[in-house]
Structure 1
Amino acid sequence: MVTVDDEAPKDHGGSVRPHDHGGDVPPVSPGRSTRNRPTDDELLDAACEVIAEVGAERATMTAIAERGGTTRVTLYAHFGSRDALVSRVITRELETFTSFMFRIYDESEDMPYGARARHAVQGLFDYARRHPAGLRVLMGHTQGGDSNRRLYAALEPRIAARLRANYAEQGAHIGAGADTLASLLLGMSLDVAHRALIVDGAGIDEACDIAITATLAVLRDVRVEQLRALDASLDQR
Structure 2
Amino acid sequence: MPNTRRVDEARPRAPRPARSTRNRPTDSQLLDAARSVIADVGAERATMDMIAERGDTSRVTLYAHFGSRDALVERVIDREMAEFTGWMFAAYDDSTDMTHGARARHAVESLFAYARRHPEGLRVLLGHRHENDDPGRRLYQALEPRIAARLRENYAVGGAHIGASADTMSSLLLGISLDVAYRAIIVDGADIDAACDLAMTATLAVLRDVRSDQLLAIDESLGRRG
- Give the TM-score normalised by structure 2: 0.90
Match of 1:100 among 63, 67, 87: 87
Query: Could you list the per-position Cα deviations for residues 127-165 of structure 1 after superposition, in whole angstroms to 9, with x for gaps in the alignment?
Result: 000000000101115598511111111111111111111
Percent pairwise identity: 71
Which position in structure 2 is the counterpart of 1:11? none
- C-alpha distance in structure 1 between counterparts of 2:208 and 2:130, whole Å: 28
Instruction: Check whether the contact 2:38–2:46 (CA below 8 A) recurs between aligned residues.
Output: yes
**Uncovered stretches (5+) of structure 2, i.e. residues with no partner:** 1-7
Amino acid at match of 1:149: R
The structure-2 alpha-carbon separation of the partners of 1:94 and 1:34, relative to structure 1 and needing over 3 Å to count, comes to farther
Query: Cα offset for 1:21?
Result: 11
Give every structure 1 segment of 4 or more consecutive aligned residues whose post-TM-superposition deviation is greater than 2 Å: 20-30, 32-35, 141-145
Amino acid at match of 1:123: S
Which position in structure 1 is the counterpart of 2:125? 138
The structure-2 alpha-carbon separation of the partners of 1:232 and 1:192, relative to structure 1 and needing over 3 Å to count, comes to same
Larger Rg: 2
Is it true that 1:54 corresponds to 2:41 in the alignment?
A: yes
Instruction: Check whether the contact 2:128–2:135 (CA below 8 A) recurs between aligned residues.
Output: no
Which position in structure 2 is the counterpart of 1:129? 116
Secondary structure of 2:162 counterpart: coil
Is it true that 1:212 corresponds to 2:200 in the alignment?
A: yes
Query: Cα offset for 1:33?
Result: 6.1
Which position in structure 1 is the counterpart of 2:23? 36
- C-alpha distance in structure 1 between counterparts of 2:163 and 2:197, whole Å: 30
Amino acid at match of 1:105: Y
Instruction: Check whether the contact 1:141–1:198 (CA below 8 A) recurs between aligned residues.
Output: no
- C-alpha distance in structure 2 between counterparts of 1:148 and 1:38, whole Å: 29
Secondary structure of 1:236 counterpart: helix
- C-alpha distance in structure 2 between counterparts of 1:91 and 1:171, whole Å: 40
- C-alpha distance in structure 1 between counterparts of 2:172 and 2:89, whole Å: 18
Instruction: Check whether the contact 1:193–1:207 (CA below 8 A) recurs between aligned residues.
Output: yes
Match of 1:231 among 196, 203, 219: 219
Higher helix share: 2
Amino acid at match of 1:41: S
- C-alpha distance in structure 2 between counterparts of 1:21 and 1:224, whole Å: 93
Count of paired positions: 217
CA RMSD of the aligned region, Å? Answer: 2.2
Query: Could you list the per-position Cα deviations for residues 155-196 of structure 1 after superposition, in whole angstroms to 9, with x for gaps in the alignment?
Result: 111111111111111111111100000000000100000000
The structure-2 alpha-carbon separation of the partners of 1:212 and 1:22, relative to structure 1 and needing over 3 Å to count, comes to farther
Amino acid at match of 1:130: R
**Uncovered stretches (5+) of structure 1, i.e. residues with no partner:** 1-19
Amino acid at match of 2:192: I
Is it true that 1:161 corresponds to 2:161 in the alignment?
A: no
Which position in structure 2 is the counterpart of 1:119? 106
Which position in structure 1 is the counterpart of 2:183? 195
- C-alpha distance in structure 1 between counterparts of 2:138 and 2:79, whole Å: 12
- C-alpha distance in structure 2 between counterparts of 1:83 and 1:181, whole Å: 35
Q: Which moved more, 1:99-108 or 1:206-215?
A: 99-108
Query: Could you list the per-position Cα deviations for residues 83-139 of structure 1 after superposition, in whole angstroms to 9, with x for gaps in the alignment?
Result: 100000000000000111111111111111001000100000000000000001011
Match of 1:179 among 156, 167, 183: 167
Secondary structure of 2:25 counterpart: coil
Instruction: Check whether the contact 2:105–2:200 (CA below 8 A) recurs between aligned residues.
Output: yes
Amino acid at match of 1:150: R
- C-alpha distance in structure 2 between counterparts of 1:171 and 1:33, whole Å: 70
Amino acid at match of 2:52: A
